[in-house]
Structure 1
Amino acid sequence: MKILVTGGAGFIGSAVVRQAITAGHQVVNLDALTYAACLENVASVADDPGYTFEKVDIRDRVGVARVFATRAPDAVMHLAAESHVDRSIDGPGAFIDTNVTGTFNLLEAARAYWLARGRPAGFRFHHISTDEVYGSLGAAGKFTEDTPYDPRSPYSASKAASDHLVRAWGETYGLPVLVTNCSNNYGPFHFPEKLIPVVILKALAGQPIPVYGDGSNVRDWLFVEDHADALLTVLARGQVGRTYNIGGENEARNIDLVRLICTTLDRLHPQTAPHDRLITFVTDRPGHDQRYAIDPTRIRTELGWRPSVTLEQGIAQTVAWYLKNEAWWRPLLARDGVGNRLGVAS
């Protein structure tokens, strides 16, 4: 299969690209190479004859249409998005432009291509989204595919809008779509503005480790390689028009996650231990969702998929990767906004 992966130089997209190439698929990696993208993420497969790169912004409707016409994909996996909640608070416009208008452009290009090809039965448009579109949970309960949408940040609202667009193009135009909503990802190649790499790199630098509020917010953590495997499973065997929630089955409070990272660093990098002495509580994020948790029953029962990496295993692998790959993350610290507290504009 030839798969058009949007955002394939990003964190999750690059994991999909690497796994797809390893599995024998052809991949067209479409990425605008904005601040969070990094072609080093796919360097291990860049010389594979099945890999092609297209520097195109999904906001460029003409450019997107050209890629469909010249590369002739069998499927689309749409991961290109602005994704950092704090940045969305400071500058929501970029999130609307990319996540909403960009998704619209991609849907229209895919629909025109699909119709021109005679509506091939095997074509798929797989839209990758987030559990944040469902809003915030209390102490009990989990998100299912039928949970009403209740986005609470500009980022999650823009992703909710793109989810609705994809489903509408499926219902109205018959485009064969799939939607997945995932929990928080982590792992190697995670851009150093997100929580887990921030904790690791602050600890290594001997700097205060910022924890929002009292650290009681709960997330379900999904190892990125597990997520990529789930996405390819849904693409291959998911029912057209269906939504699948993908969870890591690893819930943890933020403060407990930070302490786990510190303990892991104490073991793997004892020179600067103990690292939990650096934990510092800071002003909470505006509109900070209290808890996310995914019920993965549908993907487990219908497709036989479940995560293979526990949080303890994944954190150990992730910390070890950052310790070995300073040449990857060090230059990224100089990129716009990295290392600065964002999302306090409100």
Structure 2
Amino acid sequence: MILVTGGAGFIGANFVLQWCAQSDESVTNLDALTYAGNLANLQGVEGNPQYRFVHGDITDATLLPRLLAELKPRAIVHFAAESHVDRSIHGPQAFIHTNVNGTFNLLEAARGYWQALPTAEQSAFRFLHVSTDEVYGTLGPQDPAFTETTAYAPNSPYSASKAASDHLVRAYHHTYGLPVLTTNCSNNYGPFQFTEKLIPLLITHALAGKPLPIYGDGQQVRDWLYVEDHCRAICRVLEAGTPGEVYNVGGWNEKPNLEIVHAVCTLLDELAPQANGCSYASLITHVTDRPGHDRRYAIDAGKIAETLGWKPRETFETGLRKTVQWYLQNPQWVAAVMDGRYREQQESPA
């Protein structure tokens, strides 16, 4: 079996759902159910005997060794993290607590567990750490895309906390021999994404007739990766990645934020037009830019393509259409997230 941390979050939940749909191997999901953890994301595996949920926190250093001894996983896939840049600017302590201290606790527990395994199981064990392209900093318009050897230059408390966790993972491999794998992904989008993130924020604001806020001039460039493609990449790295290696995962979709906004508005005009006949683009509003806002991210995903044969299946156009359709088809999920009811519903999870 495998242990997933943060499996009730956006990417983690998509990974668990995909894993259960494509594998017979059991998966246990350890999640603290902070604001971005939502058990409703996992209704698709409720009652599935290969899935188990454990309500717990990676910052709990006493829980982790007990859980690993009980579960005996052959791999850990580590998603659990605070991940919203704006929140890290206003409250960085939580990001250090979870992303740095939590990853350290998980590594320590994994090291103790792994060192006690028989030799053959030690060789087969993997610790896969899911990280972000934001650790590399920002790029100029003509700079080459980030590769796995790009120097780290994080510019926000969030990206600094993820960079610290990446360095800890690397150190545990080089110091102790722990068989780790690290993936650094570009901007994810797709089903179950919390509504503070750009694309679901645009969809929910537009449908409510609210302004669509765009930082600054809206020309900040990001590489966009459909979440199910990202999950397939993680599965492939877990299956065939070389311990100690880093794999950048991107969608080959560099686009400025303003183009994303117009693309979402165009789809909504088609799929859920306003009663007044106006385009949703009329709701676009430019607001003061985020402090220290990185101008451009771009991922060179050549290594994972060449060594492991992974490439994204979705274009940005196909992935965005699937995403908008999902939010339109799941108004109850959206409403529960928007008004906070999902938190009340999982205060005492089974």
TM-score, with normalisation over the residues of structure 2? 0.94
Aligned to 1:91: 91
**Aligned counterparts of 1:37 and 1:329: Cα–Cα separation in 2:** 14
- For the residue of structure 2 that corresponds to 1:271, the secondary structure is coil
Amino acid at match of 2:317: E
**Aligned counterparts of 2:340 and 2:39: Cα–Cα separation in 1:** 15
Amino acid at match of 1:95: F
Amino acid at match of 1:159: K
Consecutive unaligned residues in structure 2, runs of 5 or more? 342-350
Aligned to 1:126: 128
- For the residue of structure 1 that corresponds to 2:238, the secondary structure is helix
**1:165 lines up with 2:164 in the alignment:** no
For residues 102-113 of structure 1, what are the structure 2 equivalents within 5 Å? 102-113=102-113
Per-residue CA deviation, residues 254-294 of structure 1 (Å, 9 max, x unaligned), is 00000000000000001344100000000000000000000
**Aligned counterparts of 1:26 and 1:161: Cα–Cα separation in 2:** 30
**Aligned counterparts of 2:42 and 2:51: Cα–Cα separation in 1:** 10
For residues 30-179 of structure 1, what are the structure 2 equivalents within 5 Å? 30-119=30-119, 120-140=122-142, 141-179=144-182
- For the residue of structure 2 that corresponds to 1:185, the secondary structure is strand
Amino acid at match of 2:164: A
Aligned to 2:15: 16
Following TM superposition, by how much is the alpha carbon of 1:331 offset from its aligned partner in structure 2, in angstroms?
A: 1.5
Q: Share of identical aligned residues, percent?
A: 59
**1:251 lines up with 2:254 in the alignment:** yes
- For the residue of structure 1 that corresponds to 2:44, the secondary structure is coil
Amino acid at match of 2:80: A
**1:304 lines up with 2:309 in the alignment:** yes
**1:190 lines up with 2:218 in the alignment:** no
Which stretches of structure 1, 4 residues or more, deviate above 2 A after TM superposition? none
Matched positions, count = 335
Aligned to 1:340: none
Q: Is the 8 A contact 2:274 2:280 kept in 1?
A: no
Per-residue CA deviation, residues 21-46 of structure 1 (Å, 9 max, x unaligned), is 11222101000000011111111012
TM-score, with normalisation over the residues of structure 1? 0.95
**Aligned counterparts of 1:71 and 1:52: Cα–Cα separation in 2:** 11
Q: Is the 8 A contact 2:2 2:77 kept in 1?
A: yes
Following TM superposition, by how much is the alpha carbon of 1:48 offset from its aligned partner in structure 2, in angstroms?
A: 1.2
Aligned to 1:290: 295
**Aligned counterparts of 1:78 and 1:100: Cα–Cα separation in 2:** 12
Following TM superposition, by how much is the alpha carbon of 1:64 offset from its aligned partner in structure 2, in angstroms?
A: 1.4
**Which of 318, 329, 337 is 1:332 aligned to?**
337
**Aligned counterparts of 2:31 and 2:129: Cα–Cα separation in 1:** 15
**Aligned counterparts of 2:225 and 2:149: Cα–Cα separation in 1:** 21
Following TM superposition, by how much is the alpha carbon of 1:250 offset from its aligned partner in structure 2, in angstroms?
A: 0.8
Following TM superposition, by how much is the alpha carbon of 1:334 offset from its aligned partner in structure 2, in angstroms?
A: 2.6
Aligned to 2:328: 323
Following TM superposition, by how much is the alpha carbon of 1:335 offset from its aligned partner in structure 2, in angstroms?
A: 3.7
**Aligned counterparts of 1:314 and 1:219: Cα–Cα separation in 2:** 15
Per-residue CA deviation, residues 72-98 of structure 1 (Å, 9 max, x unaligned), is 111000000000000000000000000
- For the residue of structure 1 that corresponds to 2:76, the secondary structure is strand
**Aligned counterparts of 1:268 and 1:311: Cα–Cα separation in 2:** 17
For residues 265-284 of structure 1, what are the structure 2 equivalents within 5 Å? 265-272=268-275, 273-284=278-289
Following TM superposition, by how much is the alpha carbon of 1:204 offset from its aligned partner in structure 2, in angstroms?
A: 0.2
- For the residue of structure 2 that corresponds to 1:179, the secondary structure is strand
Deviates more, 1:153-162 or 1:315-324: 315-324
Q: Is the 8 A contact 2:221 2:296 kept in 1?
A: yes
**Aligned counterparts of 1:261 and 1:66: Cα–Cα separation in 2:** 46
**Aligned counterparts of 1:201 and 1:66: Cα–Cα separation in 2:** 41
Aligned to 1:262: 265
Amino acid at match of 1:151: P
**Aligned counterparts of 2:274 and 2:334: Cα–Cα separation in 1:** 20
Amino acid at match of 1:172: T
Q: What value does the CA root-mean-square deviation take over the aligned residues? A: 1.0
- For the residue of structure 1 that corresponds to 2:124, the secondary structure is coil
**Which of 236, 240, 247 is 2:239 aligned to?**
236
**Aligned counterparts of 2:93 and 2:340: Cα–Cα separation in 1:** 20
Aligned to 2:346: none
